Amino acid sequence: LAFILLGISHKNAPLELREALALDEARAARAYAQLRADGLREAVLLSTCNRVEAYAVVDDVDAGEKVLRRALESLAPEKAAALRRSLSGLEDDEAVWHLLKVSSSLDSMVLGEAQILGQVKQAYQTSVDHGMAGPYLHGLFQRALAAAKEVRSKTELGRFPASVPSVAVHLAERVFGELSGRRGLIIGAGEMAELTAEHLKAGGISQLTFCNRSLSKAKEVAKRFGAQALPLDELESALGQADVAVFSTSASGLVLEADAAQRVSAARKGKPLLLLDIAVPRDVAPEARQAEGIYLYDVDSLSEIADEHRERRQKASHEAASILRGHFEGIRDWESSSQVAPAIAALTAKVEAMRRAELEKQSKHFSHLGAEDVKRIDYLTQAIIKKILNTPLSRLKEDQKQGQAATSLEALRRLFDLEEPD
Amino acid sequence: MSIPYWLYLSALLLQLAALVFFVAYATRPLRIFSFTGTLLLGASSALQLVFVGALAWRDQAVPLGNAFEALAFWGLLLSLAATTLETRFKMGILGAFLVPPTAFILLMGVRFYNTVPLTEAPYGGAFLFFHVGLPMAAYAMFTAAAGLASAFLVQNKQLKSGHPSGLMYELPSLGELERLLTAWLAWGFAALSLGLLSGALRGMMPSDGMVRPAPDAKVIFGVGLWAYYAAVLWLRQAGWRGPRLAKLALWGFAVFILGFYTVNIYLGGHAR
């Protein structure tokens, strides 16, 4: 048996191709049905915005790869030619290492992004739901997920957000701690404002207000977020109520002058207010920073922090790789032991059954013995069997560690007439 | 029964060693530094607990009979507070702000080891706990609040600058620091109030041979301190928050430590 993967990722396929292959529930069901019909017993299909990959356990690598290729091509027949050029595959150790890297976000476009762990978990669960996760993939994915969790908890890979909107949320958390119950004010109604609003909402900000020169536009965006809308001339009073304000207008001049910021600060009695000015040209006078309780970040300082975070993630990725190497070795040990474990279990069960049968047969001769003596005979026979099996089983495990268990296994099965594993 | 003094000295040394690791963590945030610092801090707290516990066992009372014991008790409470906060936040950096005042209090204790008892009995039992133990707990909380206030001001400066350094990530959020600062000030104030109240009530009772302080320097210091922290908490309620509150906590601590040293150590406590 071999473990293979075939797929495309952000490294070798453009977005259009990844979109064409992306799996929703219905398409995944069709793909799994086809894989099963083509004779595959174990497979997991992973679809994220960075990649679409199929992992499978196959008897024959070439034949298995053909099955996967056919299934993936059937998802986007119109892109079959482009897909053939982009599809790339890996097998056994390389495929295992790749899965570890993918699960831990070391292979993601944004290093350390948090979503991938949930996506891998979901992909595995979908495979389970379709009856396509057998013992190997079950063991492998559990181990890969455990490795990814360790990477997240023990390294700083996912600690530092790397996009400007997520840095905004991160800063809000550094100022306020918990964001639930905090109020957000979005000034402007552009794409970036909406994106930041989405992040703030996901970060826990419960009340959002959109403020725009055009009230109708503000209302339109606010409706999508279940938020309030205000005209721009109510900005100062709105700032008095907010905790985080995102400025993202296309105004050519300043929207918040320094003296207005001072008035807002005085009205708030120094209560903290985080101003995130992501507009170019800037909406907030840089001097606003001097007002008590006001924390001002413009697009340059936000980008600077995002860059620093990316650097920190890069550094953390080395630490993460070293954790993954430990898990990789663990997986190899597990793979080898899973080869010999069934044979060992079968042999010990068989010998134990023989011992019990013989004891049973002889039991009529033990009638004159006391319970303590019978117990001793039982113990004695167990001990003899353990001693006899100890050396061959230890040798088998040694062979397994050196990757040479196949011959010993074959001999063991033949000598003791053990059944072939299913 | 003689209580080994080396226990106290070892606790102090461990505290200083913890400080070295916390400061190292502040300059280079390696987990090993914060882990070792917290471990040393915990070990120091444990030694102090054993030492103060042994004193209490010997005296069969809260060990507050002289300046050394009072400082040891104060140091213990503060050390436990620092250990709790450090363990709670696992930040590794709070220790850099909380351990220096603790080490300072313990060092003050070394200066007064083996000095003549300031109070000549017959303080004891519940009165000793309320009138001396609770103010000591209040002093520990005000000291911890000062450490938190310093951490707040550093974090505030980081965030205000618009170009925060790595220190920003290591310190708790401003909101959390302010919440803790307010809570410790409030608890300290409550403990001090109870301590003063118990003294005032005792003073009104018929004489039983105990010291009956007139409005001496110590009483004035205690009431002054109480009034200061009452004003700080009132201002907090009135909307003074953030850096203003942190600065008030720091000023309060500076004046209080100076007053404590002068009144209790040099003027010898209550007038006899």
User: Any chain A CB within 8 A of the CB of B244?
Assistant: yes
- Say if the Cβ atoms of B239 and A271 lie within 8 Å: yes
Measured CA to CA, the distance from residue A36 to residue A42 in angstroms comes to 8
CB A147 within 8 A of CB A100: yes
Structure token pair of residue A89: 């595959």
Phi then psi for residue A185, to 5 deg, are -125, 125
Among A22, A29, A49, A377, the active-site one is A49
What is the per-residue pLDDT for B268?
Answer: 61
Residues 6+ apart with CB under 8 A from A401: A333, A336
Residues of A near B (Cβ–Cβ under 8 Å) read: 159-160, 171, 173-178, 269-272, 289, 292-293, 295-298, 301, 304-305
Distances (CA, A) of A189 to A40, A213, A285: 51, 9, 20
The shortest CB-CB distance from B244 to any of A160, A173, A270 is to A270
- Say if the Cβ atoms of A305 and B164 lie within 8 Å: yes
Strands A42-47 and A51-58: antiparallel
Structure token pair of residue A299: 């697009």
pLDDT in tens, A211-262: 998 888 889 889 988 899 999 999 999 999 999 999 999 888 899 999 999 9
CB B68 within 8 A of CB B109: yes
Residues 6+ apart with CB under 8 A from B198: B127, B130, B131, B134
CB A112 within 8 A of CB A316: yes
What is the per-residue pLDDT for B119?
Answer: 46
Is A211 one of the annotated active-site residues of the chain? no
Q: How many CB atoms lie within 10 A of CB A150?
A: 16
User: Any chain A CB within 8 A of the CB of B30?
Assistant: no
A269 contacts in chain B (CB < 8 Å): 239-241
Give the residue from A305, A295, A307, A308 showing the smallest Cα distance to A246: A295
How high is the mean pLDDT in each 10-residue block of chain B (272 residues)? 79 92 83 87 91 84 76 87 78 77 85 61 64 84 90 92 83 91 94 88 65 70 91 91 92 86 68 50
Distances (CA, A) of B50 to B4, B45, B53, B55, B135: 10, 9, 5, 9, 22
B175 contacts in chain A (CB < 8 Å): 175-178, 272
- Say if the Cβ atoms of A271 and B241 lie within 8 Å: yes
Low-confidence ranges of chain A (pLDDT < 70): 420-422
User: Any chain A CB within 8 A of the CB of B209?
Assistant: no
pLDDT in tens, A90-142: 999 999 999 999 999 999 888 888 888 999 999 999 999 999 998 899 999 99
Phi then psi for residue A246, to 5 deg, are -110, 120
- Say if the Cβ atoms of A171 and B159 lie within 8 Å: yes
Structure token pair of residue A222: 């606010």
**How many Å from the N-terminal Cα to the C-terminal Cα in chain B?**
29
What is the per-residue pLDDT for B190?
Answer: 95
A174 contacts in chain B (CB < 8 Å): 155, 159, 164, 168-169, 173-174
What is the per-residue pLDDT for A417?
Answer: 85
